[in-house]
Amino acid sequence: MLKNEPKQQHYLLIEKAINYLLKHHAEQPELAEIAEHIGLSEFYFQRLFVEWVGISPKRFLQFLTREHMKVLLDQGYSTMDAAYQVGLSGSGRSHELFVNTEAITPAQYRKLGKGLNIHYGFHSSPFGEYLLAITDKGICHISFVEHSEKAAEAAFKAEWLLANVQHNPDLSAKTHQQLFSSNQTQEIKLLLRGTQFQIQIWQALLSIPFGAVSNYEKLAAAIGNSAATRAAASAIAKNKIAYLIPCHRVIRKIGESGEFRWGKNRKKILLAYESAISNNKN
C-alpha cells in the first residue's frame, strides 16, 4: 500500500473504480476515464491499483467476469475433493494462513456467551473496514462494515448477548496485524459458535483453496449430505467470521457470484483479488 494513506481510503477508491468498471464493462473504458471518475490522476490511479493487487485495472477486469468464475468453478471440483479427502479435523488454510478451529459446546452455545470475555475493535483491511472480535480461545467474529460501525457493532453484540464484551482496539490490533502480515506463519485460532451442521459447513469452507471457488451443491456433498443444499446455503449465510472462513468462495453453478451479507460487489472484489494473486504466483 502507499505508505502515507490508510488502507480503508484505498479500498473505497478501488471499490468505486471497480463498480464503475462493472457498470461500464461493455464500453471498455480507458484508464484515464476510470481515474477521472474517482478523482485521481491516471498515473496515481494505476500506481494505487497495482500496489493493491499487483496488476493493472484492465487486467483485473478479466477476473471479475462470469466466464472466469465458471472456469474457476470447473477447476474447483477436483481441487476441493482432494482438499477435503485429506481430512479437515478442524483445521485448514485460508488466504495462505494456517487456521485452526474450535467449537464451543452445545451447553455453551445455549448460554449465548455467558462467562466469555470478548474484546473487539474496528480496523482497516485491503477490503474495507471491518470489526474484529477475539477471545482467549481465538477469533470469534469478523464482519465488514457495510453500512456503519454502529450497525456492525449491534449485529455483533446480538450474537453474544450474555458475554462480557469490551471495546478494546489496542488488544484486537495485535491479531489484526497477524491477519494482514505478508510474512505470517503463526497459527490463527477461531472460536466457532453454531449448530453441529453449521460448524460442519464452516469447516468445509476451509477446504476451498485460496483463488478457487465451489458451489452450494458441492459443499453439501463434501460433508456427505448432498440433499442439504438449501441448509448449506443457510449455514453459509450465517457465517460469523468473514474472510477467514471463506464463505465468499461459494458461488452459483452458473458462474454468478451470488449474495454476500457484506455486499455483492465486495464478494466479487474478494474473488477477483484472490484469483489475480493466485494467477500471478503461477
pLDDT at 183: 64
**Contact by Cβ (8 Å): 226, 237:** no
Cα distance between residue 8 and residue 81, in whole Å: 36
End-to-end alpha-carbon separation of the chain, Å?
22
Is residue 2 a part of any domain in this protein?
Answer: no
C-alpha grid cell, residue 279: 494467477
pLDDT at 190: 96
pTM (two decimals): 0.85
pLDDT at 24: 85
Which residues form the catalytic set? 247
Residues of the chain with pLDDT under 70: 1-8, 76-97, 181-185, 281-282
pLDDT at 164: 96
The total domain count for the chain is 2
Cβ neighbourhood burial of 183 (10 Å; 0-12, 13-18, 19+):
exposed
Q: What is the CATH number of the domain that holds 28?
A: 1.10.10.60
Instruction: Indicate the angle between helix axes 66-86 and 264-281, nearest 10 degrees.
Output: 70
pLDDT at 131: 98
Residue 159 identity (one-letter amino acid):
E
pLDDT at 182: 62
What residues make up the domain containing 40? 7-62
pLDDT at 242: 96
Domain final residue, candidates 47, 62, 77? 62
**242 and 217 part of one domain:** yes
pLDDT at 63: 85
pLDDT at 10: 81
Of residues 18, 64, 77, the one with CA closest to residue 209: 77
Domain final residue, candidates 62, 82, 98? 62
Cα distance between residue 201 and residue 210, in whole Å: 17
**35 and 138 part of one domain:** no
**57 and 192 part of one domain:** no
